[in-house]
Structure 1
Amino acid sequence: MSGTSTPGRELLPIATGAQTLAVVRGLLRAHRLLAVSAVTVLVVGTGIGLLTAPLLGRVVDLVVERRGAGSLTLPMVLLVTVAVARGVATAAGRSLVARLGETVLASLREQFIGRALRLPLERVEKAGSGDLTSRVTNDVTLIAKAVRQALPDFSGALVTIALTLVGLTVLDWRFLPAVLLAVPIHVLTVRWYMPRATPVYAEHRVATGGLQHQLLDSVGGVRTVRAFRLNGRHADLLERRSQESVDIALRGIRLVSGFFSRLNLAEFVGLASVLVTGFVLVDNGAVSIGTATAAALYFHSLFNPINAALFLIDDAQSAGASLARLVGVSNLPPEREPDRPGVPVDGSVKVASLSHAYVPGHPVLREVDLEVRSGERVALVGASGAGKTTLAKLIAGVHQPSDGVITLGGVDARELGPVGIRRAVTLISQEVHVFAGPLADDLRLARPQATDEELRAALSRVGALAWVEALPDGPGTVVGEGGHRLTVSQAQQLALARLVLADPPVAILDEATADAGSAGARTLEAAALQALEGRTGLIVAHRLPQAATADRVVVLDQGRVVETGTHEELVAAGGRYAALWAAWSDTRRQPQDANADDAARAAAETLET
């Protein structure tokens, strides 16, 4: 597989042409009967349509021979019959081709989604969210459009071209060389076009993904952009990426214009050759005027199929580039699992000499040692960039550490494998997704076999049962996109209920109450404590009162553990954590300050840095 990269990103792979064809062949073999039926009906319909030109030629001969109006009755009836039969067979053939394309696309889409959902998050983060979402949206849409519109036209055009050449040969083989004079122009046109178009469309797909990635970054982080007055910079980035996409699209349009001007030349050369050949053959008495007319009609009838087939190369190039991007993800090898995965004996967590760097030479964590007893709740505290979230993601298996060892339940994480880690550790961040559909189905993602009573118990445990039962259809209410919109706090409670249902030995909450506001945060903190009951909990603390309720507090600074102990011990020690707590306490003494918590966080981070 080949991949295209841009600075700062490692894009997901793109399949080669051979790999893409191999996947398509495999999918077609799985639907062999439908493929054979579609081709057969299409060939029959096209073959019936080819009778039109000889029948018209016969009409010309009858008129030239002055046979009278009565002699035209049979040819005219046959022409009508041919037209009806051709229309029915062609419609059925195109329908079968479209059904075949949709079936194959559905299989490919299922393979892609199944593989994409199992991609390591580290791999997705390296590529950027825009790369994967553009494949799921833009590329799938483009291929679907090609399957529904271009594939039936392209298939019909190819069959028509092949059978028309056979028909010309049957009329008189000498017409065939005349037609083939246009072929070199067509071949040279395609050879000129394809090498130029393929990289343009592939480049345009990448540029579109980059633009979407930038849009997601700018819109998703709009508060940060405004806070740091980066509006102009992000607007410039969007403009540059948009202009890059437009420039590539214009290059494609210029290629298409040159493509069709060459096709017009081929039509002129081919038709002129057939007319000259017909004139010579009629003059020599080798064929009748009707036969020469039929030959000219045959070639004229090739204009649309040839132009359609060659024009659809444009769509095929674009769809092929998108197809290669889907196959590139579908063909990614699965995550490696150990031959004999270990089984954690409890919920303990231990990291030893743990270091990690996203960019070589710029470590985010440095020689971190941390041991969490089974059932213990530990809060990770520190300024932004201290390494809290990175440590949480390493323990959850999102990233692989650059150095050091992570042990879960007494078993090395490498011996557990990706699936084992996901069973042992559940990570909940502040970015919680509510899936579209009934709320009960959303909950059952964590435990598909959960009963209604188990769902109610999980909701009750995190304090969500009351508002869920107040929904129009209770747990059966459709939520998410297109349904009932949940608040930030409700979405987080839903995530905590899923945690209860999944029942992992270790749970990590990464600033899970950060976006809920002060009142909502207090509700969620209580819900989080209930969800963590009976399991080991690591809390990336956003609010210091949340850290104060933990069994132990671990303070990180510049990728190192600088303090550890209970809340009381660290406050009494008068160190970094005590300074953070003092800053927060001072803000709480300010009367009627609606933004006290936000001010505390800012003050604390200032002290930390």
Structure 2
Amino acid sequence: MIPLPAAGREQVRRAAVDLLCRDRRSVVLMVALNALAATAGLAGPWLLGDIVDAVAAGRATASAVDRAALAILLCTVAQIVLARSALSTGYRFGERTAARVRERFLDRVLGFPAAVAERVPAGDLAVRGTSDVSAVATTLRDALPEVLIAAGQALFVLVAVFFVSPLLGVIGVLCLSGAAVATRWYLRRAPDAYLAEQAAGSALADELTATLTGARTVETLGLAERRLASGRAAIERAYRARRRTLALRTVFFPAVDVSYVVPVVAVLLVGGMLHTRGDMSLGAVAAAALYLRQLAAPLDAILVWLEQLQSSGASFARLEGLATLPLVSPPASARPPGGDQIEVRGARYAYDGGRDVLRGVDLTVRPGERLAVVGPSGAGKSTLGRLLAGVDRPRAGAVTVGGVPIADLPPGLLRRQVVLVTQEHHVFRGTLRDNLILAAEAPDRQLWRALAVVGADWAAELPDGLDTLLGGDGVVLDGACAQQLSLARVVLADPHTLVLDEATALLDPAQARATERALAAVLQERTVIAIAHRLQTAHDADRVAVMDAGRLVELGTHDDLVAAGGTYAALWRTWHGFTRPGGAGDA
């Protein structure tokens, strides 16, 4: 299993800057509108302070107060309009950027080589593709614009206080230092805590996925109590991680709540003392207090979204971590194969740093031949098939087609060369047509022909034909029908070489023989490599390659190998002994 990493802070920062730069016009417009809205909002307390001073000095007139009140009203309306415009711009920016995040996630996941895709934790990947993507999208759409607006408003308010009275401005800033200390304390601990919380949630999802997908095995082997214990342990780890983030919030929230009340109280006390001594006007004290009171709204907004920013920051780090997976890309110098012949020279392979499961295999597969690969369980048959299909890359040696390493071929070119069909198959939610044209675009008549070739007579009985919805709320195919659908995709892909890793295992013997006969008719003059567990497949092949303990120990025709009395002959006798006359048993 390949664990999914999280990106480091520097990588997250670069990715965030890249997203901002991709829509820089919207960011500049949002900041400009926010600055204008904050400027309009500063006029109210300033004008109110002038009115207070005029009234205190006995020089206020009704018309002057009315004009000031009208100006305050106009500035308030302007502030509302500009703030709404900034928020609307921010939402549009957020939706576009969230779409880029989703597309980037899909591109990265779809770009995984098959060897990587099938070894990553399914539960963790599902959580990243749902909860993490949604958290980042919500932040980009809602939190980021509102936090930018709130931060701009808070900055402008503080600047305004300094214009009214530098002394009161200094007092206000000093009294806000408690919020700065609490925020710094929180931000030093929150990123790791939220990453741990989300990792624990992904581990829990993996536990549930493993238990649900293996429910039959759990029931058959009586593993229910063990799986329950493992699930409870995962829940406990997730609970402890959640409690850690809750503990951080119980310290941070009250500290900030108190911090933006203290400056108002301090300014009123100090300003009142200065006013009684005649060192400061009453209007200046009122204006400074009102400005600092205006900090409550932006600080509240920042407080509400700060936790979301930490949580979504952890989600963004998990999404960007996919970019650090060791993906195998074809080298720029890869050239089209010079023929259809497949060569294996000194191939060695080990899974995830373990011991070699293939040990110096040499094999030539001639174009157009039918080669069966047989051997006892664990001999390396399926691993060799994966190397032949370009799914995995040999640790040492080479596996080539037409003189070009198979694993170096781009996916589109690889599918025209070699296709691997295993016992595993998948029916995507969508129409029957959508499921078929995954292999290649084709007109309806070719789709029906491919279904007919593999004996999928059930397709003609579907209520809407090729437009019938499969999976989910649509028609659910059983294992045999789903495998026939998978084989129909192979017919449409039309590769020159087909690697069958017991591709008809889920069909009953009659269906399997019919499907194999149909494939044989379609695959004339094409190479077929069958990873055989039923030795009847080997009996009908042109040549048989016998694997044992990761090595190719025998190679020849069925008759020659039986006559040689070696490993294959022993397998044949064992299989034949457990097979009824005319039946098709398993090795």
| Aligned equivalent of 1:41, options 10, 30, 33 | 33
Paired with 2:202 and 2:515, the residues of 1 have a C-alpha distance of 36
Task: Indicate yes or no: 2:228 matched with 1:235.
Answer: yes
Show the 5 A alignment for 1:371-390: 371-390=364-383
1:257 Cα deviation after fit: 0.8
In structure 2, give the amino acid aligned to 1:44. Answer: L
Paired with 1:56 and 1:517, the residues of 2 have a C-alpha distance of 88
Paired with 2:154 and 2:381, the residues of 1 have a C-alpha distance of 65
Deviations for 1:292-329, whole angstroms, at most 9, x for unmatched residues? 22322221221232243245332222212221222232
Show the 5 A alignment for 1:325-404: 325-330=318-323, 335-360=328-353, 362-404=355-397
Task: Indicate yes or no: 2:494 matched with 1:476.
Answer: no
Paired with 2:502 and 2:219, the residues of 1 have a C-alpha distance of 21
Aligned to 1:509: 500
Contact 2:37 2:82 in 1 (8 A): yes
1:252 Cα deviation after fit: 0.8
Show the 5 A alignment for 1:6-155: 9-57=1-49, 73-74=66-67, 77-155=70-148
In structure 1, give the amino acid aligned to 2:166. Answer: W
Aligned to 1:578: 573
In structure 1, give the amino acid aligned to 2:495. Answer: P
Unaligned runs of 5+ in 2: none
Show the 5 A alignment for 1:231-270: 231-270=224-263
Paired with 2:261 and 2:508, the residues of 1 have a C-alpha distance of 73
Task: Indicate yes or no: 2:201 matched with 1:205.
Answer: no
Contact 1:497 1:531 in 2 (8 A): no
Task: Indicate yes or no: 2:485 matched with 1:494.
Answer: yes
Paired with 1:414 and 1:398, the residues of 2 have a C-alpha distance of 7
Q: Output the TM-score relative to the length of structure 2.
A: 0.88
Task: Indicate yes or no: 2:435 matched with 1:433.
Answer: no
Task: Indicate yes or no: 2:178 matched with 1:167.
Answer: no
Aligned residues: 582
Paired with 2:522 and 2:250, the residues of 1 have a C-alpha distance of 63
Between 1:112-121 and 1:325-334, the stretch displaced more is 325-334
Kindly tell me: are residues 144 and 414 of structure 1, through their superposed partners in 2, closer, same or farther at Cα, counting changes over 3 Å?
Answer: closer
Contact 1:434 1:442 in 2 (8 A): yes
Aligned to 1:459: 451
Between 1:186-195 and 1:243-252, the stretch displaced more is 186-195
Kindly tell me: are residues 190 and 524 of structure 1, through their superposed partners in 2, closer, same or farther at Cα, counting changes over 3 Å?
Answer: farther
Deviations for 1:159-217, whole angstroms, at most 9, x for unmatched residues? 11111112222333332111101332222212211221111122223323333333333
1:140 Cα deviation after fit: 0.8
Contact 2:342 2:366 in 1 (8 A): yes
Kindly tell me: are residues 391 and 74 of structure 1, through their superposed partners in 2, closer, same or farther at Cα, counting changes over 3 Å?
Answer: same
Kindly tell me: are residues 261 and 445 of structure 1, through their superposed partners in 2, closer, same or farther at Cα, counting changes over 3 Å?
Answer: same
SS at match of 2:394: coil
Deviations for 1:507-528, whole angstroms, at most 9, x for unmatched residues? 2222323344556545544554
SS at match of 2:500: strand
1:136 Cα deviation after fit: 1.9
Between 1:132-141 and 1:122-131, the stretch displaced more is 122-131
SS at match of 2:425: coil
Aligned to 2:292: 299
Contact 1:342 1:411 in 2 (8 A): yes
Deviations for 1:70-116, whole angstroms, at most 9, x for unmatched residues? 87655555555444443333222112112112212222332332232
Paired with 1:264 and 1:182, the residues of 2 have a C-alpha distance of 13
Contact 2:176 2:260 in 1 (8 A): no
Paired with 1:173 and 1:492, the residues of 2 have a C-alpha distance of 78
Contact 2:453 2:519 in 1 (8 A): no
Contact 2:341 2:365 in 1 (8 A): yes
Contact 1:39 1:97 in 2 (8 A): no
In structure 1, give the amino acid aligned to 2:24. Answer: R
In structure 2, give the amino acid aligned to 1:463. Answer: G
Aligned to 2:440: 447
In structure 2, give the amino acid aligned to 1:367. Answer: G
SS at match of 2:579: helix
SS at match of 2:504: coil
Paired with 2:74 and 2:477, the residues of 1 have a C-alpha distance of 62
Q: Alpha carbon RMSD of aligned pairs, Å?
A: 3.3
Paired with 2:297 and 2:511, the residues of 1 have a C-alpha distance of 65
SS at match of 2:421: strand
Deviations for 1:534-560, whole angstroms, at most 9, x for unmatched residues? 421222335455555444444434333
Aligned to 1:4: none
SS at match of 1:181: helix
Contact 2:4 2:325 in 1 (8 A): no
Paired with 2:54 and 2:492, the residues of 1 have a C-alpha distance of 84
Paired with 2:126 and 2:515, the residues of 1 have a C-alpha distance of 30
Kindly tell me: are residues 494 and 46 of structure 1, through their superposed partners in 2, closer, same or farther at Cα, counting changes over 3 Å?
Answer: farther
1:463 Cα deviation after fit: 3.1
Taking every aligned residue pair, what percent have the same amino acid on both sides? 37
Paired with 2:29 and 2:408, the residues of 1 have a C-alpha distance of 51
SS at match of 1:434: coil
Between 1:247-256 and 1:79-88, the stretch displaced more is 79-88
In structure 1, give the amino acid aligned to 2:272. Answer: F
SS at match of 1:585: coil
Kindly tell me: are residues 429 and 182 of structure 1, through their superposed partners in 2, closer, same or farther at Cα, counting changes over 3 Å?
Answer: farther
Unaligned runs of 5+ in 1: 1-8, 589-596, 605-609
Paired with 1:126 and 1:162, the residues of 2 have a C-alpha distance of 49
Contact 1:493 1:527 in 2 (8 A): no
Show the 5 A alignment for 1:559-570: 559-562=550-553, 564-566=555-557
Contact 1:347 1:535 in 2 (8 A): no
In structure 1, give the amino acid aligned to 2:464. Answer: D
Paired with 1:364 and 1:169, the residues of 2 have a C-alpha distance of 74
Q: Output the TM-score relative to the length of structure 1.
A: 0.85
Aligned to 1:178: 171
1:583 Cα deviation after fit: 1.5
Between 1:141-150 and 1:287-296, the stretch displaced more is 287-296
Aligned to 1:607: none
Paired with 2:229 and 2:523, the residues of 1 have a C-alpha distance of 45
SS at match of 1:446: coil
Paired with 1:228 and 1:547, the residues of 2 have a C-alpha distance of 33
Kindly tell me: are residues 297 and 579 of structure 1, through their superposed partners in 2, closer, same or farther at Cα, counting changes over 3 Å?
Answer: same
Kindly tell me: are residues 76 and 414 of structure 1, through their superposed partners in 2, closer, same or farther at Cα, counting changes over 3 Å?
Answer: closer
1:579 Cα deviation after fit: 0.6
1:283 Cα deviation after fit: 2.0
Kindly tell me: are residues 26 and 437 of structure 1, through their superposed partners in 2, closer, same or farther at Cα, counting changes over 3 Å?
Answer: same
Contact 2:113 2:327 in 1 (8 A): no
Contact 2:391 2:407 in 1 (8 A): no
Paired with 1:487 and 1:176, the residues of 2 have a C-alpha distance of 74
Paired with 1:416 and 1:267, the residues of 2 have a C-alpha distance of 62
Kindly tell me: are residues 69 and 521 of structure 1, through their superposed partners in 2, closer, same or farther at Cα, counting changes over 3 Å?
Answer: farther
SS at match of 1:435: coil
Contact 2:440 2:492 in 1 (8 A): yes
